[in-house]
Amino acid sequence: MKTQGTKLREAVEQYKPLQILGVINAYSAIQAQKCGAKALYLSGGALAAMSLGVPDLGISSLEDVCVDVRRITAASDLPLLVDADTGWGGAFNIARTIRELTRSGAAGCHIEDQVAQKRCGHRPNKELVSPQEMSDRVKAAVDARLDSSFVVMARTDAHASEGQQAALDRAALYVESGADMIFAEAIHTLEEYKQFTSHIKVPVLANITEFGKTPYFTRDELGSVGISMVLYPLSAARAMCKAALGVFEDIIQNGSQKNSIESMQTRADLYETLGYHEYEQKLDKLFSQNKSK
């Protein structure tokens, strides 16, 4: 049976580029898979906000992430790429991160070159560790793999604070240190992405998040400059949050949810997504067998 890491690597090779959909829980993972997604993503920012109710400032823990990873990978067999922030500590902590994420069912993770008290990649005043310290993070992650197919992706946030050339130099060092893939954060132009794919000889990911520093380049535009993966980390989560807020406001202001019914998923659609009736049929079969004894 293929490992999750192998599934992710094969998807990157097969789809040019691979679109990776961000999910926030098991149910959204099922929805994404039913829509035809080939790979999933768990965002650290989404987890912080949706699971913990805190901002994306390095507050969540490894176990917080593993809880959501286990739930998502139990619900979907698609490969899951996980945001591991800065690895939650030094070499031994990073090694534990890799092992626990693997055991939880992740296909791979990305580790970034910000300081431990990190910020969202599209916020100002990001502070980076030295290239050598990030190189050591990558080496620790690669060395700790329980499964050689588990993907260790290195994210660089250098473009915003140190410039494009520094970001390219860092990415090259991280690949030399063992990174399987590169996450180029907060890039502004297709030409800059082209520079990454021309100089970095491993797959490169473009993060097309909303309301950030990177324009809404299309899949085909990014593919034309050699990008291997296109990430949409929070698109569905943002839509869910806005929809939920509208329903809450409707109920409070109008005393009923009737005006919002058309915007809701029906009970029938929910049951179909979950395979609810198959579960019921299984129960009926088990109970009928018990009654006949």
Residue 293 confidence (pLDDT) above 60: no
**Residue 61 labelled as part of a binding site:** no
3-state secondary structure of 155: strand
Tell me if 205 sits within 8 A of 183, measured CB to CB: yes
Least reliable range by pLDDT among 68-82, 94-108, 121-135, 270-284: 121-135
Average predicted confidence (pLDDT) for the chain:
95
Task: Indicate the pLDDT class of residue 116, thresholds 50, 70 and 90.
Answer: low
Identity of residue 86: T
Report, as an integer, the average pLDDT of 121-134: 82
What tokens does 98 get?
A: 């890799």
209 is in an annotated binding site: yes
What pLDDT sits at residue 120?
A: 65
Cβ atoms of 58 and 87 closer than 8 Å:
no
| Residues tagged active-site | 41, 56, 83, 85, 110, 112, 120, 155, 185, 207
User: Which pLDDT value is given to residue 123?
Assistant: 63
19 beta partners: 230
Neighbours of 124 (CB within 10 A): 9
The domain locations on the chain are 4-234, 241-288
SS3 210: coil
The whole-model pTM stands at: 0.94
For residue 152, give both structure tokens. 């260790």
pLDDT above 90: percentage of residues in the chain: 89
CATH architecture type of domain 4-234: Alpha-Beta Barrel (3.20)
Query: What would the mean pLDDT of 154-169 be, rounded to a whole number?
Result: 95
58 confidence band (pLDDT: 50, 70, 90): confident
